[in-house]
A and B are shown apart, each in its own frame.
Chain A
């Protein structure tokens, strides 16, 4: 065993691309033979998902397509008997477009939402804020995709409401520096020692103070709802996927961490339930503390198992890059980061005004180039990467316009955007800022959610087995599974 053979590479280069790495989709390495080609070719003949011109096998698959459609009902038989040829041809038409190519880039949604949030910070006019809320709500309702993350919107709305209520309660209990004359109610005031000067507990509650708190709280609530909208429209995990290649592995780590939290919560729930099964109270802090150790143990075990699974699935594979490239990457990245540091220092100090900006720019460019070069070490590819298309521009642009116009309005006409509290005055809706806010509705028309996919939970298994009229399969076979043997052999 001492003579280590040269690391024999299989027909496939382990560090390089896969069997169809050349992208011709049907290179068909020596070992695959016709069966594999047929299987791959069938995909090419799928429901218009692939560009035409897939060639022979594709055409074969198209022939099989009508049969496949009929097969949909008897899914199991399709899988078992008819082979890969029909498998894909029978593929779903609706759900396949769940994330269409025309989808808006997640970054655009985040820009749009954060821009709306920025706009909200420019004003305290409750009418404008309500309009902003309505706009973001309407867009979320029309544009949010059907996925679990989209449900987080309600959570954010609840949080915003809670913030608003807390703000009002504090204004009521702790008083407010806002001078007011309209006393609504006078709470008993608790005398505080002299060192607590400036803090008041109880006392008169004025309408002005409450209205001010309402406006202020509403501003914060709107900001929160806008962040919630970003979460609902494009989950942070999706945003992380758009990171450059060199940072991809970090991105995966963050995604794993994000999925870890729900697991922990589920663990705690399960173990508390188990406590109940042991006859111990499952509520209260003690119950929580007692499951702490098992939960941590479980989390640790799961991390190890996950690391093993990720390793076995190719996480951390690196491509061979020439040493020159590697060195250049290191130099660019390090030099770039140094440049960024020096540039920032220059900008912040008085005498560095001249060289600061250029050095910062060069440093940034070098660091980005380093990142880009570093990405070449990772052989990763992206599955349906999000592309920045016209819709994304429209979405991001509409958000930007709202933020820009409201900032402009705040500078030009602060009175309209900050309605008076003392003396109390009914807020008026300033016309052109309101129109600007309505620009934020653009995504609802430019990028509506795909028409709701026919919600197929999971096609029920049919006990009755309608055998498809498959000419290749002679005679009926009693059990579905042994059939696979014969059919597969004949069809290959």
Chain B
């Protein structure tokens, strides 16, 4: 159905081909997974199938790609539209119209299908993807997962023979991802659709794949084979494979079910051991205090003046600074740790009490309570649209509560000037790119130092520490997804906020980047930063979080230690927990540690 014949793609201006030696065939009706670390050209290979590479992106494609016996050299993407359906990474950039139903019919109208066929397929697709209740809704008003489902639905309606999916589930909560994958699965089985899919979250998809095409490194030739064969050699693998490799199972199990069947000996070996705690959740002291209290004391009179980095020489000098400008009674909550019992009752970094947020007629949050202690890592989980991002927004003052109280470091976020707030709380948004304005990393760092009132070079030092080998003059947009996230994280950390919030940090990250992020966040937590992350990634939560807070329809439905909350939930349990249940092991790393 899809045939690559010795394909290499070189983009204009690039010295090396992005991919080369691609030579494989996808037979009709197979689901083939394209795996590999970030930046190895997975998207390029996918683009070549729909003809967007090179017709749309430019560059030179050598070799030949044929789809349903049509050569992509002689057929433009629009002439392949009836055989290939493509869904990209960002559903919003895929939408042409503004309501769900119009979006579903757009492709069919372009292809000129008869109206009665269109009518029927719209209904089928609405049911297939569970969108029937949303048919008249505006696309902009949907949650991320709903948007992704609409995007998939919009290419399903013309019944393409080949479906190309680029990270279809990266934005979805586990249940919604399962639903989408079940649909994909059914298209393969019932309708004989051929699917070529790239996905970082292998734990979600690898068991459905008939074959895996692994791009091991940039420019390297692909490795083909059955999922179990390829996973044995792959640099990227899901936790269940990790556990399988650890236990020496052969052939490697790809599903929780396979693994459970073999796991009895492992379980008995682990029976008398207890999993190590992820990290001490005790407050091990606040992060290095900054000039914030001093500024707090001064700022009512001369805001703006002290933002010059040179005037606030160093964090260490903050105390001296404070001495100079100390007022008899500091503002309530000015120094969270320095002034206990001055109104704020606990040493909590953040406190949310019976918070409610209304958006139009919708209750985004209802009666939410949350206390974040220093050094604690909390994972906010729940399905798309449950209110996770809203809660983060409220903590960082982007969302004004309609009732209840939010205190972060003693201040009310939405009433605190941004300049002061960055020293109390920092948020890395879902799209880290939003935080980046400047042309180069160096300029970005300088701006961050200036914004945070930190001495020049603070941010650059952080970047070098977190992200070694990034040159000053690189444009932030040229960084990979993981590098960009780390840069954004460094920018936020420049102000050394005691509370760090991350919204979907692992979206688009491969396992290596994720492991680096985990190590980084653990180190920050050990330093005393409190971390709250909103995530769908159960594996990340299992590795990192001390506590999991489950949200549903704007309410907190569970709040407790990760092992307790996560193991009991079928959709939020990580793979290792499912394999080794009822024992409370969460990650392969824990098991490895215990067996050592």
Contact = CB atoms under 8 A, between A and B. Distances in A.
A33 B123 contact: no
Contacts of A266: 140
Nearest to A465: B570
Interface in A114-159: 145-148
Interface in B184-212: 185-186, 189-192, 207-208
A352 interface: no
Contact of B114 (A23, A40, A315): A23
Size class of the A contact interface (CB-based, 8 Å): 35 or more
Interface stretch (B34-42, B75-83, B316-324): B75-83
Contacts of B175: 461
Contacts of B133: 92, 95, 456-459
B71 A7 contact: yes
Nearest to B188: A488
Given A14-B80, A79-B183, A277-B422, A313 B124 contact: no
B182 interface: yes
Contacts of B422: 277-279
Interface stretch (A181-189, A432-440, A475-483): A475-483
A92 B133 CA distance: 8
Interface in B475-533: 491-492, 495
B437 A290 contact: yes
Contacts of B50: 312
B128 interface: yes
B278 interface: no
Interface string B290-301: 000000000000
A8 B83 CA distance: 13
Contact of B111 (A310, A379, A463): A379
A317 B123 contact: no
A44 B208 CA distance: 31
B267 interface: no
Given A312-B77, A383-B105, A91 B132 contact: yes
Contact of A312 (B52, B116, B398, B451): B52
B71 A313 contact: no
Contact of A39 (B124, B135, B448): B124
Interface stretch (A80-88, A172-180, A190-198): A80-88
B135 A88 contact: no
Given A95-B136, A480-B182, A313 B191 contact: no
B110 A313 contact: yes
Contact of A10 (B70, B90, B128, B134): B70
A27 B573 CA distance: 46
A91 B126 contact: yes
Given A10-B70, A313-B110, A79 B127 contact: yes
A466 to B, nearest CB: 15
Size class of the B contact interface (CB-based, 8 Å): 35 or more
B566 to A, nearest CB: 15
B538 interface: no
B130 interface: yes
A383 B419 CA distance: 52
A349 interface: no
A281 interface: yes
B74 interface: yes
Contacts of B112: 16-18, 21, 317, 319, 379-381
B82 A381 contact: no
B474 interface: no
A281 B304 CA distance: 11
Contact of A488 (B57, B63, B95, B190): B190
Nearest to A6: B74
A351 interface: no
Interface string B56-85: 110000111000111101111111111111
B434 interface: yes
Contacts of A384: 115, 118-119
B133 to A, nearest CB: 4
Nearest to B155: A313
Given A46-B123, A50-B116, A277-B429, A12 B82 contact: yes
B123 A310 contact: no
Top 8 closest pairs, chain A to chain B, by CB: A43-B120, A314-B81, A314-B110, A279-B422, A379-B112, A488-B189, A305-B93, A383-B105
17 contacts: A12-B82, A17-B112, A18-B82, A18-B158, A76-B130, A95-B133, A148-B99, A270-B431, A277-B396, A278-B422, A302-B92, A308-B88, A309-B96, A312-B78, A313-B155, A481-B181, A484-B186
Interface of A: 1, 4-5, 7-10, 12, 14-21, 23, 25, 31-33, 35-36, 38-40, 42-44, 46, 49-51, 75-76, 78-80, 83-84, 87-88, 90-92, 95-96, 98, 145-148, 237, 252, 255-256, 258-259, 262-263, 266, 270-271, 273-282, 290, 293-294, 301-302, 305-317, 319, 379-385, 456-459, 461, 463, 478-482, 484-485, 488-489, 491-492
Given A277-B426, A492-B190, 9 more contacts: A1-B63, A9-B69, A10-B68, A76-B179, A309-B86, A312-B52, A314-B111, A385-B115, A456-B132
